[in-house]
Each structure stands twice: as structure tokens, then as C-alpha cells.
Structure 1
Amino acid sequence: MSTNQHNRESFGSRWGFILACIGSAVGMGNIWMFPTRVSLYGGGSFLIPYIFFVALIGFTGVIAEMSFGRATRSGPVDAFGCACEANGKRKLGEALGMIPVLGSLAMAIGYTVVMGWIFKYAIGTLTGSTLAPDNVEEYGNAFGSMASAFGNNGWQIGALIICMLILMLGVGGGIERAGKIMMPLFFCLFVILAVYVAFQPGAIDGYRYIFRVDPEMLASPSTWIFALGQAFFSLSVAGNGTLIYGSYLSDKENIPASAAKVALFDTIAAVLAALVIIPAMATTGAQLNQGGPGLLFIFLPNLIRSMPGGRIIAIIFFAAVFLAGMTSLINLYEAPIATVQEKLHLSRVPACGVIAVIGIIVSLLIQGIVSTWMDILSIYICPLGAGLAGIMFFWVCKKSYVEKQVNKGRERKFTKYFIPVCKYIYVPICFIVLILGIALGGIG
């Protein structure tokens, strides 16, 4: 099986790679969806299946995509092509590999719109505009205006430029360095928020709400379905970002150990968000039943405005959200940039320029329909990309090849159950997520 070993960039350290992967996983799903689902599905009754699915996907799909990328030293197109090469179907593999690459680009474009909103609110905490509205209705009107067609052009372009400047610096100088700075800072800021909220009157009711276990909710299929969706999308298994980061990894690195750290810190980030948002809502007696952008741009700013030291809290909160969003955006754009480099034989800066132009034009055009755009991608493309990557690695590649790639950098062989669990449980789960997403209108 051929690989792209020559002139391949790489991460400079183990923790640089891990922090970059954590950054790709920690995003808006942790902040604006996880706390809501914890609230809606019985607190601990949701946490139990969620942690189970994080462990399952972390020790199957995340390891697989990292290993597949490192094995082929390439992005999804060449990785899928390499897998199919032995059967004389490289072109078919490459064509299928375009699905997760285009999915990553489309998701990055949609995420660019969201990052434009976050960038505007983050700067607005410094100027005072973010906390200027007097009530929920005014926040709703302000957000509606911003989220309309061509309603936030400058901030959106600014967020994309920041992302591309980081990507132009390369894997070590850009992606790795950004992860080393942004992720520790994100966690520090959210810990500060969690400590602050803990001392607010009524916060204890929020903690009771988070850690209660409702047997009826635990037995509900809906709880398990949405816990699966939350874990699946939070860990960013889609056959693109995790795979491409794996392609920059040294053969000396222990991938299963790295995947465990990514899953652990992604879960910590989600729980931290819940420990901030749910108790904060409890201090006002409000029930958290609103997820998505409305929570982040309408209800939370209105809540923060009324808290002691609200402006400082808003600055910390939106700075942390911006850091989490930017690391995810970097990951989403990296797969298409790497593909342009591989297929058009461009250096990194021109490849970033090509993708940036596409990103600017399309993201400006979809501002008014970004919610529908992201729903289609999360329902159809992400689980399909993950499933195709799983099929390529576990069903098309030989068992001996997979074992060799997963065990590189390890002193002892990884569990013998890894391949059968991935083949017969993880890969079907990808398509179960696809089917459930179509049937229920999205579970991510």
C-alpha cells in the first residue's frame, strides 16, 4: 500500500497533537447542546449513556481515524485510494474519499458563519454592545438581525481570516501552537466561570439537577439515542479532521493512549459547560430547555447581564467560546486544504488562499440558511464519512495491516477485541446514527 511520506508536515510533540485533537472535538456541541440535553434527559440519566458512548467511540472510531491517517500519511482522498489500491479500485476509493473532504469543507463554511456571530459577541463584551439589550426580546431581535442574509459580513470574514492566518503557518507553527495556547486557556477560563457560578445563590439546585438520576429517563430510548448522537458528533468522527491530524503524527506515538486523552478532555469540557450553564440558569429559577444558537446568543447574554460582575463574566465566557470554536474551525478547514495541496501540488499558503476564497464567498451566501445547511451536513454527510472511513480501514484493508498500524508506538499490543468491535459494532453505529438522524431530523 503506497503512502505519502515525502515532505509531510508533522506535529512536534505528543501534547501538541493531543491538544489539537481536543481542540477539534471541543466546540459548540459541548457548549450550546450538551448542557441542554443533560437538562432535558434527566441529568445523570443522560450522563451515564453519554459516557458509555464516548468510551465506545473514543476507543474505536477515534483510534481508527488517527491510525488510518498515520498509516497513509494523507488526507481522506488518498487514504481511501490507498485502501482500495490492492483491489485495483484506487479511483473509486479516491472518489469516495471526496465525500468526507467536501463534507469537511461544507461544515467549515457553515461554522464560519457561527464564528462570525461569536467574534462579534466576543468583541462586543469589550465595547459593551453584547450586554446592551434590556431583555430577551431585544436579544432575540438583535440575533435575528445578525443571523439574517448578509447580516454579519465583516465579523464573519474577520473570523475566517484569523483561522486562515493560523493555518498558513503550518502544522507545527500554526495548528499545534494554536492548540497549545487556546485549549489550556479555554479550560482555565471555564474553570474560573464554574467557580464563580458555584458561589451564586441557588447554584446548588443546578448541581442537583445535573447529577440526579431519573430511572424512567434512563430507561427511555430517547435518552440513549441523543446521548449517542451527542457523543458521536462531539468526538468529531467523520472521516476527515481526525484522520488528517493522524497523518501528521509520528510512528512513535501511542495512538490509543492519545485517543483516550482526547475523549477524556472532550468530556471534561462538556461537563464544565454544564457546570457553568445549568447552575447559572438555576440562580434565576429558569429551566434550561433551549439549546443551539438561541441559548448562546439570546438567553445566556440576558442572564449574564443580570449577574454581579456581568461584564467581566461575559468577556471570559465569550473569549472561551471563541477559543473553542476557532480550534474546531481550524480542524474543519485543514482536510480540504491538505487535499488541495496533495491533488493540485500547491504549497500551504496558496492552498489556504484557494480554500479561503471559497469559504468567504459561500459563507456569505448561506448566512440566512446556515441552520438548514448545518442540519443537512450533520444528518447525512458526517455519519456517512465516518462509516466510509470505518469500512475502508476495517473491511477493505487487511487485518494484519490494521493491527500493525494501531500498535505502532506501543510497548504492548492493543486489545485483540479492537478489530471485531470496530467491524461489527462501531461501523454499524455510524450508519445507525445516519438512519436515526434522517428519521428524527437530527440527533447531533
Structure 2
Amino acid sequence: MKEREKLSSRLGFILISAGCAVGLGNVWRFPFITGQYGGGAFVLIYLFFLILLGLPIMVMEFSVGRASRKSVSHSFDVLEPKGTRWHGFKAMAVSGNYILMMFYTVVGGWMMNYVVKMGSGSLTGLEAADVSGVFDAMLKSPAQQIGFMVLAVLLGFLVCRLGLKNGVERVSKVMMSCLFLIMIVLCVRSLTLPNAIEGLKFYLIPDFNRMLEAGISNVIFAAMSQAFFTLSIGMGSLAIFGSYIGKERSLFGESLNIMALDTVVALLSGLIIFPAAAAYNIPVDSGPGLVFITLPNIFNSMPGGQIWGTLFFIFLSFAALTTIIAVFENIVAFAMDSGLSRKKAVWMNIILLLVLSLPCALGFNLWSGFQPLGAGSTIQDLEDFIVSSNILPLGSLIYLMFCTRKCGWGWEAFIEEANAGKGLRFPEKIRGYLRWGLPCIVIFIFFQGYYAKFTGFAQFWLPLIIVAGVMMFPLSAWLSQRKS
């Protein structure tokens, strides 16, 4: 049997895993929902839920990966009790990684496209309406959409083709280091702008009156969802890196380090955006258009804005690419765990992802008439909904049940793996919370996602049917265990 590849250093594991977690959810979504839900008060609630929700499930993913030495495509087969059927979850987890990349490569392409636009001066001197027109024209251009999507796919798989240590680990270290360096430079520039202090006050000083205006329940759910989804937990995209490390360090301590890096990136993104927005009197609650429409207008008003804007979109491109590379490595590992060489796995998946990403790329132009979630929706919205509102919460529920129940891997086996090695130990006293409390929160997030998206039949019965179907995995495992 071929020996499992291993990362060369602890730093490599932390930076690659952080690179997987650090993505556009941190540097794009976090700032605009912070703006929408009241600034500093939202940040406090977000940090609370990040520890309460995200951290335990991250430790579980890493533990399953390290104990099995496999990707999610085979990890449950290795660890499940004999005769149980937890491995049925792998179909959903594997498809989740592919569906995520079907639209993430397109959005990553947008970031690289804007590096070119900013660097070439295409956005310099444009009025606000013209900047918005550039973004719309990009979406409506099949050539731009497909061209930069292809670039994102090829760059990501090229790194994976170079190998785990020489490609994924080495490049992730460089890109994450550059990402932090660029962020610090941009923070310094943003904080030295006139009137930047007002943006800092909005961002860092909790104002609970703003939270009341937005609606307490809306703010809490938004913070809960962001904390849950920012780490990309629930579909094994982090577990693969657990399979590449030894047992020298406890997984609770390492997960804290990774979560801290993820959080620092999100918080630094706010330090870049909010002071700059305040300096030029730009609304900070402008939604997803904040990055592609609002911020280019800020850079146009700023001395040396072309340089700062180019740096900003390089930073966003690095954030996107670190996630793409990490998830691509997971996808390549699926094929390698099934017996293919790394070279064959890479080439097979290049072709597969190029084809699978086309619907999202064309969904804004040639296929814009297909609006799967209602008027104004796109194929990207559907793909994002499948992953964010279905696979991630339901997958997290599977990990929770698998690691805390006797019919699965079990609490004792999980704790032994999580606490192996030096470092902080996982708090065993929260077992009851993980068995009952956290699953209830995850189910609530799942249902609330549907409630916010649909009305009528789909508002209640459709998610109930999906939950019942997915829960057949742990139920069949439990029944099989009882029979044996």
C-alpha cells in the first residue's frame, strides 16, 4: 500500500487550512454584511458564534481526516462501525466540493479580471454609473466570463500538479504571506485617509441602536450564518489536510490557530473598506456591489488610486486562489484515493471542472433566461444555495452525529484523536452541547435558510423532506448497529 503523502511542516498545515477557510466570504461578504447590520455590534456577535459553532465542527473534520488518512470520499468507510452506512454521506460531500468550484472559479475569475482592469487603467477617471456599467458588461460577456474562469481552473490545478509539498504547500505559504503583506499595506493607506476615524468608529465601536434598527433576530441570524459558513465546514474540504499531518500536535490548538488567521483576514478587510468608505462618504451597506462598484469609485477618488485598486484586487485574487487550490487538492485526492496517479487525477479534473463551470459563466449572459430560484436569480444563485444552505449545514450535522454517537465513530475515539499530541486539549465537558445543542442550532440555520429564500410549499415541507432524506444516513447506520 502506497504511503500517504505528508506536509513538510506545521506552518504549512496551518497556512493551507487557513487558505481554504480564508476566501471571498471573509474579504467580500463579511464587510458588506457588517455594514448592513450595524458595524461593531455585529462583529462582536459574529466572533461569539464563530467559537460556539465553527470551532467544534472544524476539529471534528480534521480528526476524521487524520484518523482515516483519507479524503472524505473514503474516510467514513475507514472509521464507521462494521455494517453501518455512514459512507453514504460521501456522495453529498464530494458533489459539494465540485458544485462549490463550479461557481467559485467564475467569481475568482472576476477578481483576476479586475486586476487587469485596474492595472491597465480601464477604470481610471470613470463616473460612478460608468463603473457600474463596466461590471455589468463583464457579466454579459461570455468571452470574459469563460476566459478568466479557465485561467482560475488552470492556475489552481497547475499548483496541484506540482505535488503536495512542492505545489500546494509551497505556493499556499507564498500566497498567504503576500495576502497578509498586501492587506497591511492597504490598511495603513486606508487608515491615513482624511476622516478615516469615522469609519473606524462605525466598525469597531458597538452601537446596539443600529442593531435594533436592523432587527435583532436578523442580526443574530446573519452573524450565526457568517460564522458557520466562513470556515467551509461540513463537506470535507478541511478534512483532507488533517489526513496529511502527523499526531505531534493536538487538533483543537491547531484549529484555534487556523480560525484566528481566518478571523484576522476578515477583520483586516473591514479596516481597509470602512475607513476608505467614510473618507469619501460612500455608503457601506451597498451589498455585494461593494467590491466591484463602490470600491472602484473610492479608488478613482484617491490619489494613486490605480495602484491601490490594483493591489486590492490582487489581494482578493489571492484570497480566492488559496481556496480554489485547497479545494482542488481535495478533489484530486478523491481520485487518488480511488487509485489514480496525481497526474491523471489532475488532467481528468481539469476537463471536468472546465465543463462543469460553464453553466455559471454563461448564466449571466447567454443562459440568463434560466432563473431557477425565481425572477432575477442566476445559475450561480442556485449553485451557491445548494452548497451554502444545504450541503454545508447537513454535512456538519453528519460530522456532529458521527463523532458524538456510539452508532458512529463515537465520542471516545474522536476525543482520543483530537487530543493526540502537544497543545490545547478539546474540552470534554461540552459533550452534551455537541450531542444536542449544536445539532439543533445547525438544523435551525438550515430551516432559516429556506425560510429566507422561499415561501409557500418550499418554506416548510421542502426542507423537511430534504432533512428526512439526508438523515437516512445516520438512521440507517444506527439501525444497522442495533441489528448487529
Shorter-chain TM band: over 0.9
Q: Percent identity?
A: 30
Show the counterpart of 2:318: 323
Equivalent of residue 428 in structure 1, options 402, 422, 440: 440
Show the counterpart of 2:99: 106
How many residues get paired?
A: 432
Kept after mapping to 2: 8 A contact 1:61/1:422: no
1:115 aligns with 2:125: no
Show the counterpart of 1:297: 292
Q: Which runs of 4+ in 1 moved over 6 A?
A: none
Which AA in structure 1 matches 2:429? Answer: Y
Whole-angstrom distance in 2 between the partners of 1:394 and 1:239: 18
Show the counterpart of 1:207: 200
Equivalent of residue 370 in structure 1, options 362, 372, 380: 380
Show the counterpart of 1:67: 63
Q: Which has the larger radius of gyration?
A: 2
Which AA in structure 2 matches 1:181? Answer: V
Q: CA RMSD in A?
A: 1.9
Q: Give the CA deviation at 1:259.
A: 0.5
Show the counterpart of 1:190: 183
Kept after mapping to 2: 8 A contact 1:101/1:335: no
1:220 aligns with 2:216: yes
Task: Output one character per residue of 1:150-206: Cα deviation in whole Å (capped at 9) or x when no partner.
Answer: 242222111211110001122211221122111121111111111101111111110
Which AA in structure 2 matches 1:358? Answer: L
Task: Output one character per residue of 1:212-262: Cα deviation in whole Å (capped at 9) or x when no partner.
Answer: 323342781211111011111111212311111111111212211111111
Kept after mapping to 2: 8 A contact 1:60/1:421: no
Show the counterpart of 2:342: 348
Kept after mapping to 2: 8 A contact 1:19/1:180: yes
Kept after mapping to 2: 8 A contact 1:42/1:212: no
TM-score between both structures, scaled by the size of structure 1 = 0.92
Task: Output one character per residue of 1:392-422: Cα deviation in whole Å (capped at 9) or x when no partner.
Answer: 2222112221121111113675322243332
TM-score between both structures, scaled by the size of structure 2 = 0.85
Matching of residues 227-376 of structure 1 within 5 Å: 227-292=223-288, 294-343=289-338, 345-367=339-361, 368=363, 369-376=379-386
- Structure 1 spans left out of the alignment, 5+ residues: none
Kept after mapping to 1: 8 A contact 2:57/2:399: no
More moved, 233-242 vs 216-225: 216-225
Whole-angstrom distance in 1 between the partners of 2:15 and 2:321: 13
Which AA in structure 2 matches 1:29? Answer: G
More moved, 156-165 vs 418-427: 418-427
Compared CA separation, residues 378 and 148, structure 1 to 2 (3 A)? farther
Kept after mapping to 2: 8 A contact 1:54/1:235: no
Show the counterpart of 2:471: none
SS in 1 for 2:428: coil
SS in 1 for 2:246: coil
Whole-angstrom distance in 2 between the partners of 1:428 and 1:406: 23
Compared CA separation, residues 159 and 133, structure 1 to 2 (3 A)? farther
Task: Output one character per residue of 1:96-153: Cα deviation in whole Å (capped at 9) or x when no partner.
Answer: 1121111011101210101111111112332222x24612322222222222372422
Which AA in structure 2 matches 1:65? Answer: E
Whole-angstrom distance in 1 between the partners of 2:358 and 2:426: 46
Equivalent of residue 136 in structure 1, options 120, 124, 128: 128
Matching of residues 21-170 of structure 1 within 5 Å: 21-84=17-80, 86-89=81-84, 92-129=85-122, 131-132=123-124, 134-148=126-140, 150-151=142-143, 152-170=145-163
Compared CA separation, residues 291 and 332, structure 1 to 2 (3 A)? farther
Kept after mapping to 2: 8 A contact 1:83/1:392: no
Show the counterpart of 2:467: none
Whole-angstrom distance in 2 between the partners of 1:426 and 1:60: 9
Show the counterpart of 2:168: 175
1:405 aligns with 2:417: yes
Kept after mapping to 2: 8 A contact 1:239/1:388: no
Kept after mapping to 2: 8 A contact 1:150/1:364: no
More moved, 45-54 vs 148-157: 148-157
